[in-house]
Structure 1
């Protein structure tokens, strides 16, 4: 039974990574031909804020994985980031996705990138919740009543003296997060291509 539980949750986690990679890929492909309506100064400011979002997203994902450490299907984790939101990995991934969109210099694309990511992870979270209700039982149901699904409630924060984690999972999460940083040089190359006329700009957004 435990083996089946582990395999099932591993499948959920794999699907989460695939969703993340797919979203980043689609956003990058679609935005190759997009441009910003902002002037150069505003464009650079939006990109800078986007970099901050990406770094916060990566840091938040690593913070979250330190607490969950591969134990999501085996026990209820309700401290640290999991005390303020049931899905901190998804929340911070959404922030990072917004940062990816911001590398285009468009506020609209920034918001859309975050919205697409949040919608996709919301669907994944609902699937996980149905599974965890059956596996973890009453304590998890009480946790659902107490902690919000996505947007954090800082007033609920509580911590523990120490946590244990699996380095393999931490390292994998770090590599997954670095995918967001790839957007920075990628969009710089796209902008250069657009300025040189190699890449056509088919639409511009605010």
Structure 2
């Protein structure tokens, strides 16, 4: 096939995109934590809205981590070798990014601010969108017509649950699953981090520069 890419070249290119994905995620997380460090919600911690957002946020963080592990079970290093269409990849082409965005929303919710919760999701999704577009361009060349047919059938980001198919997980690679777990655990740092921030802001150690609803 004319549009096939040599295996070594494909793996190098995919490695670049995976590194880019981690870099984007790291930058977004750092910006999020800086915002959370010096900001405070207008809803006091004891109010229903604040408590409810925190609770939903914890749920989203855990769902995001579990979802990333689920997606890794299916993709398993096969991204440049074949079109993976089972499990989460049957309802969205980029489940790893979807679940990462979900976890980012959960991190934002820990501030108890509706604005921050929504903003974290929008910023994370927009950042990943740029990576997704470059990945798609590469995969069209690497995988050819089967991937183009997959593009026509499955949505890029917002899941379509009516398309769900179990599919095949392929060969299981514990190392990839471990790497995904370690990446995802970064989101869990938000939970104790917010407790420290709340205490530091309450004591005046960390200044509150702005308030958000």
TM range (shorter): over 0.9
Tell me if 1:11 matches 2:16.
yes
Query: Which range moved further: 142-151 or 162-171?
Result: 162-171
SS, match of residue 159 in structure 2: coil
**1:174 is matched with which residue?**
181
**2:207 paired residue number:** 200
Which residue of the other structure, out of 73, 77, 91, is the alignment partner of 2:98? Answer: 91
1:128–1:162 Cα change, 3 Å: closer
In structure 2, the partner of 1:29 is: 34
- CA displacement 1:131-169 (0-9 Å, x = unmatched): 000110001000000000000000000113654221111
Q: Please report how far the alpha carbon of residue 67 of structure 1 lies from its aligned counterpart in structure 2 after TM superposition.
A: 0.0
- 1:156 corresponds in structure 2 to 163
Moved over 3 A (4+): none
CA distance in 1, matches of 2:169, 2:75: 12
| Distance verdict in 2 for CA 1:162–1:136, change over 3 Å | closer
2:74 and 2:168 in contact (8 A); partners too: no
Structure 1 residue runs of 5 or longer lacking an equivalent are: none
Q: CA deviation at 1:30?
A: 2.1
Matched, 1:110 2:117: yes
Q: Report the Cα distance in structure 2 between the residues aligned to 1:53 and 1:178, rounded to whole angstroms.
A: 13
Q: TM-score, normalization: structure 2?
A: 0.94
Would you say how many aligned residue pairs link Structure 1 and Structure 2? 206
Q: Distance in 2 between matches of 1:195 and 1:133?
A: 53
Q: Partners in 2 of 1:175 and 1:149 — Cα distance? A: 25
Worse overlay, 161-170 or 19-28: 161-170
| Structure 2 gaps, min length 5 | 1-5
1:64–1:88 Cα contact (<8 Å) kept: yes
Cα pair 1:70 1:165 within 8 Å, conserved: no
Specify the SS of the correspondent of 1:140. Answer: helix
Separation in 2 of the partners of 1:63 and 1:161?
A: 12
| SS of equivalent residue, structure 1 residue 38 | coil
* Per-residue deviation, 1:32: 0.8
